Structure 1
Amino acid sequence: MPRYLDTKHRVVTAFQRRVANPLARLLPGQILLETTGRVSGLPRTTPVGGRRTGDAFWLVSEYGEASQYVRNIQADPRVRVRVGGRWHTGTAHLLPDDDALARLKSLPRFNSAAVRTFGSRLLTVRIDLDGPGER
């Protein structure tokens, strides 16, 4: 990764981890993705932007396989997503062959603009939802 992208990734990730994500988790309408920590085995909750379409939830990771939640998905694809205040279990699939920029056009504008602005290695993620329930 070029040095400026590495620096950008570290700065944006630090801001998200320490400021943006803790605040976003408190918002009742915020979509949350819960993965299982690949080392700790503990639930890890990350605010995300995306859209439910039928029995699937779509999102684009701004840092691809460098994102912690993507690395957790690689270790265990079973996840939960909170959409509209309800938790849904599902299985996440990483789609490196999907056109992430085109996918962003079908997702909520504000989040898509942020992902395009701050992201450097976009990766589409599709979560096939089982339905509401606990993991």
Structure 2
Amino acid sequence: MTRRIPRVVARAPIPLFRSGFGFLMGNRLTMLEHRGRVSGQARYVVLEVLERDPDGLVVVSGYGRGAQWYRNVLADPVVRVWSGRRRGAGGRATAIPAGEVPRRLEDYRRRHRRAAKALGRTLALPDLASDGPLPSDIGARLPLVRIEYAAR
């Protein structure tokens, strides 16, 4: 069972990102603005970045497929991203196929060993925190989303 981070802690970085100081959080966190699937209102979430390139980034849904932000971006993939010095950049969210998830998570664990262990402990996901092979169902439990930046 995934452990929940207290809401006040999870939402604490949002004012920093919204006021333009998100770069203080480093390159490993990003803030995503998405639309509520029922309300249509703007919603915000701060997420761990697994991969980054000039065209976009990959984030993980630590709370699985039931996370509200994940369900929202599947319903409406148009998002805005705050990451590093990038503020409110338009983008499009796409779920990464479950078959690709183990390879990407293994790469993340290799590149950011301590962060992966900390994230695994925080979310009570021992598979991510261990050095052993990832289970075959990890793609179903930890979905990844690619955020492609909109052309400028």
Residue 91 of structure 1 is matched in structure 2 by 92
**Of the candidates 104, 108, 115, which is equivalent to residue 104 of structure 1?**
108
Q: Is the 8 A contact 1:49 1:111 kept in 2?
A: no
State the shift of 1:93 in Å. 0.9
Q: Which amino acid aligns with 2:41?
A: L
2:132 alignment counterpart: none
- Cα deviation, 1:79-134, whole Å, max 9, x if unaligned, reads 111012422111111112222522533776665444323165211111111146xx
Letter in 1 for 2:55: D
Identity fraction in percent: 31
Structure 1 residue 124 and structure 2 residue 144: aligned? yes
Q: Calculate the TM-score normalised by the size of structure 2.
A: 0.67
Unaligned runs of 5+ in 2: 126-140
Q: Comparing both structures, which one devotes a greater share of its residues to strand? A: 1
Any residues of structure 2 matched to 1:3-42 within 5 Å, and which?
A: 5=1, 8-9=2-3, 12-13=4-5, 15=6, 17=7, 19-27=8-16, 28=21, 29=23, 30=25, 31-42=30-41
Instruction: Describe the shift of the 1:76–1:102 C-alpha distance in structure 2 as closer, same or farther (beyond 3 A).
Output: same
Q: In structure 2, the residue corresponding to 1:73 is in which secondary structure? A: helix
Counterpart of 2:68, as a letter, is Q
